[in-house]
Amino acid sequence: MAEQNPKEEQNTAAPEATPETTAVESKEVKTEEPQVDPQEFLDNFDWDKYEEGIERVEDSKLQEFETLVEENFVDTADEEVVEGKVIHMTDREAIIDINAKSEGVISLNEFRYNPDLKVGDKVEVLIDIREDKTGQLVLSHRKARTIMAWDRVNDAHDKEEIVQGFVKCRTKGGMIVDVFGIEAFLPGSQIDVKPIRDYDQYVGKNMEFKVVKINHEFKNVVVSHKALIEADIEEQKKEIISQLEKGQVLEGVVKNITSYGVFIDLGGVDGLIHITDLSWSRINHPNEVVELDQKLNVVILDFDDNKSRIQLGLKQLEKHPWDALGDEFKVGDKVKGKVVVIADYGAFIEVADGVEGLIHVSEMSWSTHLRSAQDFVKVGDQVEAVVLTLDRDERKMSLGIKQLTPDPWTDITSKYPVGSRHKGVVRNYTNFGVFVEMEEGIDGLIYISDLSWTKKVKHPSEFVNVGDVLEVEVLELDVDGRKLSLGHKQTQENPWDKYEDEFAEGTVHKAAIDEIVDKGATVRFNEDIVGFVPSRHMEKEDGKKLAKGEETEFKIIEFNKDFKRVVASHTAIFREQEERNVKTQRRKAAAQHEEKKTTFGDANAQLQALKDKMEADSKK
């Protein structure tokens, strides 16, 4: 409960007045009119009795009282900012005296930014209402601060003054700070010189800030706490930088960890340890080696001219693993290690801490068909390999996996002699042929021309699929070049041998036009033989040309087994008949001519015989 007003205590302590005494006092006032101290009169006047009509005051006295009020009380107006004094505080409220007719009450929530508020402090308040329905003076400290805030914020910004602020809450990217009653934004990067991970630790605290930016159009204010401590740090930084030397070992604190390295606070100066300088061993992320706020010793590797970029190293404080590599490692040894990096050309194996060897993809399998290293191993695999080369000075080592198994090409001539037939698996194909795996480490190539006797294969994918099992015949074997040439069509009888007689030139076959193509058409005589009919040989007897799908007779006018070429003609069918008819007509005409010639000769002979007889008779 709020304590009783001191003024009310004084009024309560005065003896109760009666109408008779009031009248006497009024007369005494009229006659004697003693000089009364204005403040004493105001303090002792019983307002309650006056309002209830118990105590009467003459008009002249009221006039005098009004004059006293005007002289001693503040002439306030609504929406006016005045200065008040805290005269009493409860758990929830502060009683404020602004030297008016009554005191005002303000919730302590409006003073959250100032938890040290106490009796006697002077505060600015806004007079919301001089007198509400209950006669209470309504004040607001928050509104008063807001009215005065912009002038104060602008003044602090212009003069670069330090201001006090109350951190109210978190927000996206930073904090909300109460400065002079204005909600200002404190970016997370401006809280401290080092990155802040726990923003909540600042909520509810009073801190010093510097106003760094004001947007008058949108009424936005940006403050910084970092700016206040940067000046001191800058001095420390200059002193530290002046003493930096390459090779110097310093103690630092892990300030920030990124995917590419670690930032170290050297006492006001930041340096970067690149991920490659954290450990002699390969790591995927710096947090595998260090953690935030960890103290550690680092060595200065390099810095730029003004020493603003400092390159640090951690692994350089330890002996290089290659220098510690024992003599037990030598060429030909078998070693075990973990796959740490994979590239298309090979895999890096860590055989000891910080010591790596490369297994080239060509050393992963005896197969000459090149594949990616990812087909053989993956990161994290434990593998066994053979040391192929070892250069301690250059710190390089090459390893091999295929050397752990016998070379399949050692007895290749006995296993795959020329002319032998085998089965293999299609592993890959290109535009020119198909790669067939005979066994692990032995691949052979079937050229596209050796896939089929009859089909014109434009691409191997038209004929086979990866994973198909094909029967093949060894055509050529190059042991030194480790090359095996195979054929698939050679495992079957060449159908063109038997077609050589069946489709010999001059033979006639019945078929339909399959496709109309450039300069002619194609005719499919069977599943193997597709003939070509030139345009001039597509003419029918009636002068029209054959159409697609039209079936008729064709005469083979060309057959080439080597080039698998068959040329046919329909026109030749009826043209040949025409030629036969012409020859027949010619033979008939010749015969008739001979017959006429014979008949005429006989007549001449008869006439000559008759003439000779007549001449003989005349001589007689």
Taking the C-alpha atoms of residue 380 and residue 553, their distance in angstroms, rounded to an integer, is: 71
Mean of pLDDT values over 191-199: 80
Count Cα atoms within 13 angstroms, Cβ side, for 228.
Answer: 14
Flag whether pLDDT at 262 surpasses 90: yes
Report residue 305 as tokens: 């001219």
Q: How many CA atoms lie within 13 A of 574 on its CB side?
A: 10
Residue 267 has pLDDT above 80, yes or no: no
The pair of three-digit structure tokens given for residue 242, joined into one six-digit string: 């002046």
Lowest mean pLDDT among 86-90, 241-245, 458-462: 241-245
The whole-number pLDDT of residue 169 equals: 92
Whole-model pTM: value is: 0.40
pLDDT at 70 exceeding the cut of 60: no
Q: What is the pLDDT of residue 36?
A: 52
Whether pLDDT at 421 is above 90:
yes
Percentage above 70 pLDDT, the chain? 79
Distance between CA 245 and CA 297 in Å, rounded?
A: 15
Q: Which residue has the higher pLDDT, 277 or 231?
A: 277
* Alpha-carbon span 568 to 555, nearest angstrom: 5
The CATH homologous superfamily to which domain 412-491 belongs is Nucleic acid-binding proteins (2.40.50.140)
Q: How far is CA 550 from CA 161, 538, 573, in A?
A: 102, 11, 15
CB-CB neighbours of 593 under 10 Å: 10
| Mean pLDDT across the chain | 80
Residues 425 and 439: their CA atoms lie apart, in Å, by 9
Which element (helix H / strand E) includes 426?
strand 421-429
The answer to whether 342 touches 379, Cβ cutoff 8 Å, is: yes
- Give me the pLDDT at residue 156, please: 86
**588-597 residue pLDDT tens:** 766 676 666 6
pLDDT of residue 6: 41
Mean pLDDT of 143-159: 82
pLDDT tens for residues 533-562?
A: 999 899 888 888 899 999 999 999 998 887
Given this model, what pLDDT does residue 426 score? 92
Confidence of residue 71 (pLDDT cuts 50, 70, 90): low
The strand ranges marked E within 62-161 are 80-89, 93-97, 104-107, 122-129, 137-140
Place of tokens 């996206």: 172
pLDDT for 365-385, tens place per residue?
877 656 788 888 888 899 999
Can you give the pLDDT at residue 9? 40
Q: Are 325 and 393 in contact (CB under 8 A)?
A: no
Say yes or no to pLDDT of 7 above 50. Answer: no
Cα–Cα dist 159/167, whole Å: 23
What's the CATH code, domain 80-145?
2.40.50.140
Name the pLDDT band for 106 (thresholds 50, 70, 90).
Answer: confident
For 341, the token pair is: 């990096």
The stretches of 243-304 forming alpha helices (DSSP H) are: none
Mean pLDDT to the nearest integer, 462-477: 92
How many Å apart are CA 241 and CA 262, to the nearest integer? 19
3-state secondary structure 135-193: CCEEEEHHHHHHHHHHHHHHHHHHHCCEEEEEEEEEECCEEEEEECCEEEEEEHHHCCC
Residue position matching structure tokens 């599943």: 527
- pLDDT, tens digit, 9 for 90 and up, residues 607-619: 777 777 777 766 6
Closest alpha carbon to 550 in 506, 514, 522: 514
> Whose CA is closest to 397, among 321, 344, 318?
321
The pLDDT tens digits of the residues spanning 19-63 come to 443 333 443 444 444 555 555 555 565 655 655 565 555 666 656
Question: Would the pLDDT of 12 be above 60?
Answer: no
**pLDDT for the residue 8:** 41
- In 3D space, the residue among 60, 43, 52, 61 whose CA is nearest the CA of residue 19 turns out to be 52
Tens of pLDDT, residue by residue over 498-546, are: 788 888 888 999 999 999 988 899 999 887 788 999 998 998 888 888 9
- pLDDT category at 387 given cuts 50, 70, 90 is very high
Could you say which DSSP state residue 503 is in?
Answer: T
Fold adopted by 334-404: OB fold (Dihydrolipoamide Acetyltransferase, E2P) (2.40.50)
CA distance 291 to 295: 9
10 Å CB burial of residue 570 (0-12, 13-18, 19+) is buried
Q: Are 82 and 110 in contact (CB under 8 A)?
A: no
Among the four given CATH numbers 3.40.1190.20, 1.10.600.10, 2.40.50.140, 3.40.50.300, the one describing domain 243-317: 2.40.50.140
Identify the residue with better confidence: 16 or 562: 562
User: If you ran DSSP here, which 8-state letter would residue 545 be given?
Assistant: B
Q: How confident is the model at residue 258 (pLDDT cuts 50, 70, 90)?
A: very high
The CATH number that domain 160-229 falls under is 2.40.50.140
Bridge-based pairing of strands 310-313 and 270-274 is parallel
Whole-number Å distance between alpha carbons of 11 and 13? 5
pLDDT over 70 (residue 310): yes
Residue-wise pLDDT for 556-589, tens only, equals 999 888 788 899 998 888 877 666 666 666 677 6
Positions of CATH 2.40.50.140 in the chain:
80-145, 160-229, 243-317, 334-404, 412-491
**Looking at residue 145, what is its pLDDT?**
77
